[in-house]
Amino acid sequence: QVQLVESGGGVVQPGRSLRLSCAASGFTFSSYALHWVRQAPGKGLEWVAVMSYDGSNKYYADSVKGRFTISRDSSKNTLYLQLNSLRAEDTAVYHCARDLSVVVTATLDYWGQGTLVTVSS
Partner 1 sequence: QAGLTQPPSVSKGLRQTATLTCTGNSNNVGNQGAAWLQQHQGHPPKLLSYRNNNRPSGISERFSASRSGNTASLTITGLQPEDEADYYCSAWDSSLSAVVFGGGTKLTVL
Positions in the binding site for partner 1 (CB under 8 A) = 35, 37, 44-47, 50, 59-63, 95, 97, 100, 104-114
56, 74 contact by CB (below 8 A): no
- Shortest Cβ 23–partner 1 spacing (Å): 15
For residues 49 and 6, give the distance between their C-alpha atoms in angstroms, rounded to a whole number: 15
Residues 91, 24, 57: CA angle, nearest 5 degrees: 75
9-20 residues labelled b (16+ CB within 10 A) or e (exposed):
beebeeeeebeb
